[in-house]
A and B are shown apart, each in its own frame.
Chain A
């Protein structure tokens, strides 16, 4: 009853807490579990990133020489645009969740679709990067590191796009309510995580 008179964060918080104790407890446990999943994914990326750092710092010159020619540096301008596309999708995903919390389903759908479109656009940009890259996976340590790390990240983005599409369908089928929307929270956290991993990869491969 109190939720009808509250506005903004207070109304959202009141709705969030307006669930049975069993659901509230399992929601907290699921959230902790999901954060641990993201943390384990961090470890996975860290191991590959440290391998890249080792290869890079132990090489006399970077990018390395292949067949007597030094590999060119990667195209920063296009990567910057593609990076902002992905960061923009994080912003739209955040808008989607906020609109769901405020019971604005139409706006939620619009922001979710925009997030998915931006995610697909990023993958298209990555495909363009791969096709125009002047190195191969097996040709050098630079190529192996670049394709392995960005490929692994691209796979995460692809999984995220599928995940968000499933969440959009579920939300429109009534799986989530104004007080029970853990799936959407997890989806948002996952998408932000994918964005943040790209911040690091963007710096390491394109700017450093």
Chain B
């Protein structure tokens, strides 16, 4: 098994785990009020987007195929 394949598999699994966990964190944060909570929600949502990008990169939908 090539190193690239291992890296892609690792990125695929870990991006799902981290993305799902961050989604649950965002859901728990929704009822919280205050400026820090608002900023945290926005940043968590963008982080989930990052996980989606990493997931798409791991399956070669985005980025250069190698």
Contacts and interface: CB of A to CB of B under 8 A. Distances in A.
A75 B66 contact: yes
Contact of A35 (B25, B28, B35): B35
Classify chain B's interface size: 35 or more
Nearest to A193: B43
Contact of B18 (A88, A98, A198, A199): A88
B35 A80 contact: no
Interface in B1-41: 4, 7-8, 10-11, 14-15, 17-19, 21-22, 25, 28, 31-32, 35-36, 39-40
A88 B14 contact: yes
A196 B7 contact: no
A80 B50 contact: no
A197 to B, nearest CB: 9
Interface of A: 9, 13, 28, 31-32, 35, 38, 73-81, 83-85, 87-88, 90-91, 94-95, 98, 185, 188-189, 192-193, 195-196, 198-199, 202-203, 206-207
Interface of B: 4, 7-8, 10-11, 14-15, 17-19, 21-22, 25, 28, 31-32, 35-36, 39-40, 43-44, 46-47, 49-51, 53-54, 56-58, 62-64, 66
